[in-house]
Every structure is written in structure tokens, then in C-alpha cells.
Chain A
Amino acid sequence: MFSEFSEEQIRRYARQIIMPEIGGGGQKKLLEAKILVIGAGGLGSPAIQFLAAAGVGKLGIADGDNVEISNLQRQTIHAGNLGMNKAESARVFVEKLNPDVEVEVHPFHINAENVRDVVKKYDIILDCTDNFVSRFLINDACVIEGKPFVHSAVLKFYGEIMSIVPKETACYRCVFRHAPPPGSVPSCQEAGVLGVTTGLFGTLQAAEAIKLILNIGETLTNKMLTVDLLTMEFDIVKLRRNENCPICSGRIREIIPEKYVERCQL
């Protein structure tokens, strides 16, 4: 009766198709989209959950770590999978939730040698990593490959998120030239993080990815949203491209592996 959707898909996606912003056309775009989630931890878990539920046709999941008991306070999709590689564990979850989603597992850490080859295969990338070296690496690789991506970082009750459309809007390196000195910013391992904080920001990353695919609403491009859940302060900081940014000015066109240590200066 309907050329695009099966009876099961009509029921599964009814609440999305009903919305004027999505409809059958938008749902088809989601089913044809390819999204890469780098890191299946605190941010990646909720992002994977809602992207899979929404019917994103292909999900790449990259993570080299295994599920530990200390992860389960915030990484709920890994329930029951202690010891399993996180990307594999996420695949198990997605396959149970929605058989429409094809999962490609990248069960290793993304590094300077492999980042461009992995990023290349997708339309949108979510940076769900937990360290500065990875953030600069993913930023630089996505800008070089021309792939829109969504950055987020969290700590304790606080988080930040911004979306980047390469060569059009401010990139992460336009805002932060390089990483802070090692040890100057505590990690979630040292300072802690609430599951709600990672859950909120990972979910916001999924929302941004869906809007970027559907080309609807306003995205967090040239903007950074910061949230402090202790005070419930939500702020949007306006950002601008930096003409001297070595990556998005096009001055540097390759990933130089030896740059991605400590401060990631270019």
C-alpha cells in the first residue's frame, strides 16, 4: 500500500512521521543516514540509544574499551555485558531495539592513523570521547574530510555541546586553539560525573545529528550550549570562525600523527 515503508515501520515510526517537520520524507532520510558515534561510553550510550530508536539506517560505533562495572552508573545500554567490548555491547543493544539499523562495529580506539578512514564512511559524526587529544583529532579529521560533527564534553554536573559544519561554521579548534596542559583539567575519572549529565548531553548530540540530517530547526552551529545542572543555568555562547584556524582555513590538510599528543598544537 505504501511504497516506502513496511507495516511494521509505519507503526514503529508513527510518532515521528506524524510531525510536520519529519513526515514520511524525513523518516526516509533517517533510514538512509549513516552516523558514526566515536565512544560508546557516557555520551555515546544515550546517543546510540536514541539514534537507533529513531531509525538511523546505519550506525558506526567505535570504542576500544570493555564494559566495566564502574561504567553502568551512566552507560545503561551495556547492562548485562560486563567484560564485553563496548562497541560490540552497543551493537547487541541496537539489534534488540531496532532491526532496521545496520551496525558497523569499530572495536578499537580511534587514532591519528585510522581516524580519516573511519570518518569517511559516514554522513555525520558524534564526538563522544572523553579526552582532549581525541577531540582535536576528531575535529581536524572531520574538517579535513568535510563531515559535519557534534562535539560534547561533560564533567560532574556540567556539560557543553556545539555542532560543526566544516568550512561554514566555527570548528572546535577555532574556539580552543589547543588542549590545556596535561593535568590542568580533571577528567571524569578524577572529578566524577553524574549519569544524568552524560545522558542529557549524549541525547542532545543525537538531537543535533537528527536535525542536521533532516535540515530542520536551528542547530548549535557557531554556538555552544553550556549547562550546569547544579544551578540549572543553561547558556548559549556565540562563536565565530577564526580566520587563522590552521585546520578550517585549509592551511593544514593532513593529519600529522605526531601532533596528537598532550596539547595538540598545530
Chain B
Amino acid sequence: MSAVKHYLDLRGEVCPFTFVKTKLKLEEIGAGEILEVILDHEPAVEDVPRSVKSEGHEVLRVEMIGEKLWRVVIKKCLE
């Protein structure tokens, strides 16, 4: 059984809006569901997972998927 997946393409977006948009998306999806975020702004690759964790969500994976392209996989916490 796999959880519902949501995608957020944040290519072209910079900090702090990368996290703001990730956070807003996490507020919209259901608890336990998965959000995949695509980033091309390097500082956000550290910033987004750290901020997401501080709000209690689980960061499942942070991986480089291309040149200057990253994927962050987040599981929304059960509130």
C-alpha cells in the first residue's frame, strides 16, 4: 500500500519562498501523505528539509536528480 503522492515543482524559485510554498502545500495535503518537491536553488536543498523537519514533518529523501536539480521527499506528519 503506497501513500498518496503530491508534487511541487519549485524550479526557478528561491529562498524563503521555496519553504513557504512547500509549507503551504503541506498544509493542503492529508496527514501521512507524501510530497515530492523539485528544487534548482542550491541553498534551498538544505533550508527546505531543515525547516520542514522543524515543523514536525518527516524528510524521507534528499537526492540530486540532475545538474543543479534536487528532489526532496517529505511525509506530512500526523497532527
Q: Are A5 and B23 in contact (CB under 8 A)?
A: no
**Chain B residues in 8 Å Cβ range of A214:** none
Q: Is B70 an interface residue (CB 8 A)?
A: no
Q: Is A224 an interface residue (CB 8 A)?
A: no
**Chain A residues in 8 Å Cβ range of B55:** 20
With contacts A2-B28, A3-B28, A24-B27 known, is A18 near B16, CB below 8 A?
yes
Q: Is A10 an interface residue (CB 8 A)?
A: yes
15 A-B contacts (beta carbon < 8 Å):
A1-B25, A2-B25, A2-B28, A14-B16, A15-B16, A17-B20, A17-B23, A17-B24, A18-B16, A18-B19, A20-B54, A20-B55, A24-B24, A24-B27, A24-B28
Q: How many residues of A contact B (CB 8 A)?
A: 15
Name B's interface SS: helix
**Chain B residues in 8 Å Cβ range of A25:** 27
One digit per residue, 1 when the CB lies within 8 angstroms of any chain B CB and 0 when it does not, for chain A 1-41 equals 11111000011001101101001110000000000000000
Q: Are A11 and B17 in contact (CB under 8 A)?
A: yes
How many interface contacts (CB-CB < 8 Å) are there between A and B? 37
Q: Which of B24, B28, B51, B54 has the most CB of A within 10 A?
A: B24
**Chain A residues in 8 Å Cβ range of B21:** 1-2, 10
Q: Are B17 and A24 in contact (CB under 8 A)?
A: no
Binding site for B on A (CB under 8 A): 1-5, 10-11, 14-15, 17-18, 20, 23-25
A20 to B26, CA, bound (A): 13
Q: Are B17 and A10 in contact (CB under 8 A)?
A: yes
From A1, A4, A18, B23 is in contact (CB under 8 Å) with: A18
- With both beta carbons as reference points, the residue of chain A lying nearest to B55 in the complex is identified as A20
CB distance from A4 to the nearest CB of B (A): 7
Q: Are B24 and A2 in contact (CB under 8 A)?
A: yes
**Chain B residues in 8 Å Cβ range of A1:** 8, 21, 25
CB distance from A181 to the nearest CB of B (A): 55
A264 to B20, CA, bound (A): 50
Q: Are A10 and B27 in contact (CB under 8 A)?
A: no
A56 to B24, CA, bound (A): 19
Within 8 A of A (CB), among B14-53: 16-17, 19-21, 23-25, 27-28, 51
Other 17 A-B pairs with CB < 8 A, given A1-B8, A3-B28: A1-B25, A2-B21, A2-B24, A2-B28, A4-B28, A10-B17, A10-B20, A10-B21, A11-B17, A14-B20, A15-B16, A17-B20, A17-B23, A18-B20, A18-B23, A24-B27, A24-B28
A239 to B15, CA, bound (A): 45
Shortest 8 CB-CB distances between A and B: which pairs? Answer: A24-B24, A24-B27, A14-B20, A2-B24, A17-B20, A14-B16, A10-B20, A20-B55
Within 8 A of A (CB), among B51-75: 51, 54-55
- With both beta carbons as reference points, the residue of chain A lying nearest to B19 in the complex is identified as A18
**Chain A residues in 8 Å Cβ range of B25:** 1-2
